[in-house]
């Protein structure tokens, strides 16, 4: 099996060595070269034709953003993973890079007590993203098996035709997203009207600080009011709450109100925040009034929550493969037969508004190529 060819671009020799060693120990990955700055990196891309590039955000002379801009002029489809610091400056630059065409990002290990801990941090965050962005090196994922439930029981997948989607009133819109999410949200939210009649909940797999900056950027671009959840907010129409990094976000009834809740219970699907607890709590709180949307992302977070939404009588929409950066999360939901509709990203806003305003109709089932 042909290995994934990786070029590592970073001005710090320690980071280049760390990443090279970690990636070289994986049998499916080959580091074909390194570069100490953006200019050298651009030359190495031409010489080595890598399958994916890891690119440091902050470098002297030509920084990551400038380098990315040059890469996109000649290699518009080459996967580029930004390597950023877990700081406000790093978060801002990373979101700028994603908007400029970066495929994904990884944060550099911070406040770890040993080299082995730093290696583990990078290994667990970087390698899955490289493989998700270069899936030709791994066999296609099989249809997900029914997920285990408490007490050892299993919930069989619900299989329905997309044309038989529910037409119940919508009371909440819940969106789950991961890899490719910032750009997907930037495309989706501005297309939703400011007077949307339901509250919106979003779980985007991101660390703390990044989610705050993301919410601020989306708030500026959207007619809806977008904010990072603080916990205890009463949900209201026309408002969007994004789960803060390192916290799960759920909802619950408090008298006549429904409020957002935050907790730091163990990660689910290796994520915190995770989509599953948000979807599940929305299904328990709003029942058939839940509209869940699963956007681009690696893994299968959201699958179990989608089961709960469907079991409660709610509706699940999924982004199609062709418009997804990685068709992991939406693909898992589609293969399990849980999606009422599978749509390109540029058609999801219209489908959401139609559902919310009681004109659900039948969605076209499109599973990509």
* Three-class SS state of 287: helix
Residue 114 is classified by DSSP as: S
Taking the C-alpha atoms of residue 25 and residue 295, their distance in angstroms, rounded to an integer, is 32
Task: Spell out the domain ranges in the chain.
Answer: 4-137, 157-356
Is 205 marked active-site?
yes
Tokens coding 313? 């009588």
Please report which residue ranges of the chain form alpha helices under DSSP H.
13-24, 38-48, 64-74, 88-99, 115-133, 181-188, 210-221, 275-286, 303-311, 329-335, 345-356
Rounded-to-integer distance, Cα 17 and Cα 141, Å: 32
Alpha helices for 168-289 (secondary structure H): 181-188, 210-221, 275-286
Rg over CA atoms, the chain: 21
Q: Do domains 4-137 and 157-356 have the same CATH topology?
A: yes
- Residue 113 is predicted with a pLDDT of 58
How many whole angstroms separate alpha carbon 335 and alpha carbon 343?
A: 14
Is the C-alpha dihedral spanning 324, 329, 333, 336 positive or negative?
Answer: positive
With the C-alpha atoms ordered 146, 121, 274, 350, is the resulting torsion angle positive or negative? negative
> What's the pLDDT score for residue 357?
93
Q: Is the peptide bond before 273 cis (omega within 30 degrees of 0)?
A: yes
Q: Which one of 1.10.3720.10, 3.40.50.180, 1.20.140.10, 3.40.605.10 gives the CATH number of domain 157-356? A: 3.40.50.180
Q: Is 113 exposed, middle or buried (0-12, 13-18, 19+ CB in 10 A)?
A: exposed
- Using the Cα atoms of residue 237, residue 207, residue 16 and residue 5 in order, give the sign of their dihedral: negative
What pTM did the predictor assign?
A: 0.88
Q: Of 51, 56, 301, 320, which is the active-site residue? A: 301
Q: For residues 154 and 240, what is the distance between their CA atoms, to the nearest angstrom?
A: 33
pLDDT 10s digits, 48-60: 999 999 999 999 8
Rounded CA gap, 70 and 64, in Å? Answer: 10
Active site residue 301: yes
Sign of the CA dihedral running 90, 94, 100, 106: positive
Q: Which stretches of the chain score pLDDT less than 70?
A: 110-113, 136-167, 359-369
Given the structure tokens 């990551």, which residue do they identify? Answer: 64
CA distance 56 to 76: 18
What is the per-residue pLDDT for 365? 37
Which two three-digit tokens encode residue 297? 């992302």
Separation CA 83–CA 36 (nearest Å): 13
Q: Which position among 205, 281, 308, 323 bears the catalytic label?
A: 205
3-class SS of residue 341: strand
Could you please state the CATH topology (level 3) that the domain comprising 4-137 is classified under: Rossmann fold (3.40.50)
Catalytic member of 121, 125, 178, 324: 178
């Amino acid at each position: 099996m042909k290995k994934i060819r990786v070029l590592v671009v970073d001005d710090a020799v320690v980071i280049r060595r760390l990443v090279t060693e970690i990636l070289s120990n994986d049998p499916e990955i080959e580091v074909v070269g390194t570069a100490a700055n953006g200019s050298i990196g651009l030359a190495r891309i031409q010489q080595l034709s890598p399958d994916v590039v890891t690119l440091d955000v902050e470098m002297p002379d030509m920084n990551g953003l400038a380098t990315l801009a040059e890469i996109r002029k000649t290699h518009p489809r080459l996967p580029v993973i930004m390597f950023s610091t877990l700081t406000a400056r790093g978060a801002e630059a990373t979101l700028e890079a994603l908007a400029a065409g970066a495929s994904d990002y990884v944060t550099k290990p911070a406040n770890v007590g040993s080299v082995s801990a730093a290696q583990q941090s990078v290994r667990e965050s970087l390698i899955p993203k490289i493989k998700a962005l270069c899936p030709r090196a791994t066999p296609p994922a099989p249809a997900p098996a029914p997920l285990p439930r408490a007490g050892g029981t299993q919930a069989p997948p619900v299989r329905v035709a997309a044309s038989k989607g529910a037409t119940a009133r919508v009371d909440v819109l819940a969106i789950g997203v991961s890899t490719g999410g910032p750009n997907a949200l930037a495309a989706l939210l501005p297309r939703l009207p400011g007077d949307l009649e339901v509250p919106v909940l979003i779980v985007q797999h991101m660390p703390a600080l990044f989610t705050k900056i993301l919410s601020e950027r989306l708030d500026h671009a959207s007619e809806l009011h977008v904010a990072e959840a603080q916990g205890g907010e009463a949900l209201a129409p026309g408002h969007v709450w994004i789960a803060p990094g390192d916290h799960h976000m759920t909802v619950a009834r408090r008298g006549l109100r429904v409020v957002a809740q935050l907790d730091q219970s163990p990660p689910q699907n290796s994520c915190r925040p995770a989509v599953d607890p948000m979807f599940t709590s929305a299904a328990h709180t709003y029942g058939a009034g839940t509209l869940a949307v699963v956007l681009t992302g690696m893994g299968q977070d959201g699958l179990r929550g989608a089961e709960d939404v469907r079991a409660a009588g709610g509706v699940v929409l999924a982004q199609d493969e062709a418009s997804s950066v990685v068709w992991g999360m939406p693909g898992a939901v589609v293969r399990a037969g849980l999606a009422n509709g599978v749509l390109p990203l540029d058609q999801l806003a219209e489908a959401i508004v139609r559902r919310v305003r009681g004109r659900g109709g039948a969605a076209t089932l499109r599973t990509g190529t």
